[in-house]
């Protein structure tokens, strides 16, 4: 009887810890240091250094890695379509992915160089009421609200073989088959004026692509934003 009670208590404790760790956190992280590029009509392209498994990583709970990916943002007008193209065709076996959010800025909202966590979903909104930067636990910085409305996503499906592994949930990610392995283009129409932020990473690379944790295993990809003509 005592063993049963102990087992129940242990099970309850583990369940409680699991529930606590799954609660949303207000802790934010910075994209400073070359992780967040501004795109404009006069600066419409950048080279981004990203890991080949950073956009959808099986060891990260099927999420993306914030700092193993790379980020961009631009100010857009509503109802004027924009295209983001990620080109990694020079890297055999690399498959890029991209996600776009509408990002509110202004008073009470966290600056665009801060996001909510070290991981991200490829297909969900991000809403944090009181984001806090706690790099210095003694003097945490209140950043304000993080408001990121999911717009769309896409990944390069060309050259992966007949089937993307069952371990990849494909219900909320959009595959692009355009006959160009290593390249993906995504066109969207902004629903409102303001800032749009996007993340670029890799998904399901070929076996000969190195996905070790070494910092040197980042791969340069070309990112181009095609703005509407004014």
DSSP sequence for 154-192:
EEE-TTS-S---TTS--SS--EE-SS-TTEEEEEE--SS
Q: What is the pLDDT of residue 214?
A: 65
Residue 205: HSE in the Cβ half-sphere, 13 Å Cα cutoff:
25
Positive or negative: CA dihedral 214, 56, 89, 149: negative
Give the burial class of 99: count Cβ atoms within 10 A of its Cβ; 0-12 exposed, 13-18 middle, 19 or more buried. buried
Q: Write down the pLDDT at residue 8.
A: 40
Question: In this structure, are residues 127 and 227 in contact, taking their beta carbons and an 8 Å threshold?
Answer: no
What string of pLDDT tens digits covers the 230 residues of the chain? 444 443 343 333 333 333 333 334 588 999 988 899 999 999 999 999 999 999 999 988 899 999 999 999 999 999 999 999 999 999 999 999 999 999 999 999 999 999 999 999 999 999 999 999 876 667 788 999 999 999 999 999 999 876 677 888 888 999 999 999 999 999 999 999 999 999 999 999 998 898 876 666 899 999 999 999 86
Rounded Cα distance, 195 and 199, in Å: 14
Rounded to two decimals, what is the model's pTM?
0.86
């Amino acid at each position: 009887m005592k063993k049963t009670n102990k087992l129940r208590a242990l099970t309850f404790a583990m369940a409680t810890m699991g529930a606590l760790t799954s609660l949303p956190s207000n802790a934010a992280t910075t994209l400073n240091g070359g992780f967040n590029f501004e795109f404009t009509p006069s600066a419409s392209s950048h080279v981004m250094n990203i890991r080949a498994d950073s956009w959808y990583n099986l060891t990260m709970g099927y999420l993306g890695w914030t700092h193993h990916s790379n980020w961009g943002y631009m100010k857009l007008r509503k109802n004027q379509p924009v295209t983001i193209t990620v080109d990694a065709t020079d890297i055999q076996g690399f498959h890029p992915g991209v996600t776009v959010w509408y990002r509110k800025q202004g008073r009470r909202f966290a600056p665009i160089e801060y996001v909510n966590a070290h991981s991200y979903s490829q297909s969900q909104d991000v809403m944090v009421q009181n984001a806090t930067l706690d790099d210095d636990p003694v003097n945490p910085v209140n950043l304000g609200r993080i408001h990121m409305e999911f717009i769309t996503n896409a990944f390069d499906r060309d050259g992966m073989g007949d089937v993307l592994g069952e371990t990849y949930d494909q219900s909320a990610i959009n595959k692009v088959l355009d006959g160009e392995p290593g390249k993906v283009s995504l066109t969207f129409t902004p629903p409102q004026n303001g800032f749009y932020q996007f993340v670029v990473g890799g998904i399901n690379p070929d076996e000969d692509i190195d996905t070790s944790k070494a910092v040197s295993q980042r791969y340069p990809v070309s990112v181009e934003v095609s703005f509407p003509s004014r």
